[in-house]
Amino acid sequence: MDSGNLTWVSEFVFLGFSQNQELQFLLFLVFLLVYTTTVMGNLLIMVTVSSDSRLHTPMYFLLRNLAIIDLCFSSVTTPKMLVDFLAEKKTISYQGCMAQIFFFHLLGGGTVFFLSVMAYDRYIAISRPLHYITIMNTRVCAGLVVAAWVGGFVHSIVQLVLMLPLPFCGPNILDNFYCDVPQMLRLACTDTSLLEFLMISNSGMLVLIWFLLLLISYTVILVMLRSQSGQARRKAASTCTTHIIVVSMIFIPCIYIYARPFTSFPMDKAVSISYTVLTPMLNPIIYTLRNQEMQAAMKRLGKHLVISSRE
Closest CA to 108 of 60, 167, 78, 148: 148
- DSSP alpha helix (H) spans, 164-229: 181-187, 193-199, 205-224
- Give me the mean pLDDT over the 7-30 stretch: 88
How many Å apart are CA 86 and CA 38, to the nearest integer? 21
Give the bridge partners for 12, in sequence order. Answer: 92
One-letter amino acid for residue 45 of the chain: I
pLDDT class of 169 with cuts at 50, 70, 90 = confident
Q: Is 79 helix (H, G, I), strand (E, B) or coil?
A: helix
One-letter amino acid for residue 79 of the chain: P
Backbone dihedral angles phi then psi of residue 260, each to the nearest 5 degrees: -150, 165
Give the bridge partners for 14, in sequence order. Answer: 174
pLDDT score recorded for residue 130:
87
For residue 267, count other CB atoms closer than 10 A to its CB.
12
β-pairing, 11-14 with 91-93?
Answer: antiparallel
pLDDT score recorded for residue 103:
97
Cβ contacts of 151 within 8 Å, gap of 6 or more: 109, 110, 112, 113
pLDDT score recorded for residue 1:
46
Q: Is 165 helix (H, G, I), strand (E, B) or coil?
A: coil
How many Å apart are CA 83 and CA 92, to the nearest integer? 11
Residues 29-46 have pLDDT tens digits of 999 999 999 999 999 999
pTM: 0.89
